[in-house]
Amino acid sequence: MAELWKGAPAAKALTEKTAARAAVLRDRGIAPTLALVRVGAREDDLAYERAAVKRCQSCGVETRSVVLPETASTAELIAVLRELNGDGSVHGVLLFRPLPGHIDDEAVRRAQAPEKDVDGVTDGSLAGVFAGTGTGFAPCTAEAVVVLLRHYGVKLDGANAVVAGRSLVVGRPLSMLLLAAGATVTVCHSHTRDLASVTRGADIVVAAVGKRGFFGTEHFAPGQAVADVGIHAAGDGSLCGDVRTGEAAAVVAGITPVPGGVGAVTTAVLASHVVEAAERSA
């Protein structure tokens, strides 16, 4: 039976390191600060905001919530972001997405300062992840997978990793992070032929296709490490991932659960990015 690789211990370890770095900054008179920008009041955003604020509080990172009405225009949102870009007391800015449909997401994304882009959405952040030359950060979820695997001693250097999913927020940046860590990476997507035979041949399988319970026994082989990035809410409010955890756990060496796996590490990564942004600006 597989080990269950819960996110909480990995998040705790990272939070302790972040708190120590934040304390050093505070001794120098710098209070690392995250601005959380929300348009409207989507329940998902509110839940993530609560979790992010709690995590930041636990490691000495200040937070400031900026809330715009659901009816806010693109120009109004961009004005708020420009103000935060120019505010020296704010080191990181997290904008909750998806934005309401009438807002021009691309224009908003371009208005975000890469050096404060702690969730890795700007071109500067993508350049950093893909070429190692940018000024921003990796998307928190992608980095959380690497943090979690490392915490449980999964060897990335030399490993064959299969990432199922090629989105700009998860699959692609994660592939680059694994590549940078020395893994041999195969990226799969909806046109991949015989996905199960590809995943069965890997040492590490990352499931990020956004389909509830998509991966089962046929996708796995003994000894594998599995990270399940998917999050799906059932009608009764319970959460599950892209992997049928019970089936996978009967085969593989270790698997991250949903809930309480990758998702539990993302706010710890976010807080670490805010502290790093403050260190870079100091």
Q: What residues line the site for ligand NAP (CB under 6 A)? A: 141, 164-167, 169-171, 188-192, 195, 208-211, 229-231, 262-263, 266
Nearer to ligand NAP, 17 or 189 (CB): 189
Q: Which residue is nearest to ligand NAP (CB)?
A: 167
Q: Smallest gap, in angstroms, from Cβ of residue 163 to ligand NAP? A: 9
Residues in CB range of 42: below 8 A, 6 or more apart: 96
Nearer to ligand NAP, 2 or 163 (CB): 163
Nearer to ligand NAP, 15 or 141 (CB): 141
CA of residue 139 relative to chain centroid, distance: 5
Q: Smallest gap, in angstroms, from Cβ of residue 228 to ligand NAP? A: 8
The radius of gyration of the chain's CA atoms, rounded to the nearest angstrom, is 19
Nearer to ligand NAP, 214 or 221 (CB): 214
Nearer to ligand NAP, 85 or 186 (CB): 186
Nearer to ligand NAP, 72 or 121 (CB): 121
Q: Smallest gap, in angstroms, from Cβ of residue 171 to ligand NAP? A: 5
Nearer to ligand NAP, 25 or 148 (CB): 148
Q: Smallest gap, in angstroms, from Cβ of residue 281 to ligand NAP? A: 26
Q: Smallest gap, in angstroms, from Cβ of residue 187 to ligand NAP? A: 9
Q: Smallest gap, in angstroms, from Cβ of residue 97 to ligand NAP? A: 10
Q: Smallest gap, in angstroms, from Cβ of residue 264 to ligand NAP? A: 9
Please, are residues 253 and 224 in contact by the beta-carbon 8 Å criterion? yes
Separation CA 212–CA 37 (nearest Å): 29
Please work out, in degrees rounded to the nearest 5, the angle formed at the alpha carbon of residue 97 by the alpha carbons of 91 and 100. Answer: 125
Nearer to ligand NAP, 84 or 240 (CB): 240
Q: Smallest gap, in angstroms, from Cβ of residue 175 to ligand NAP? A: 11
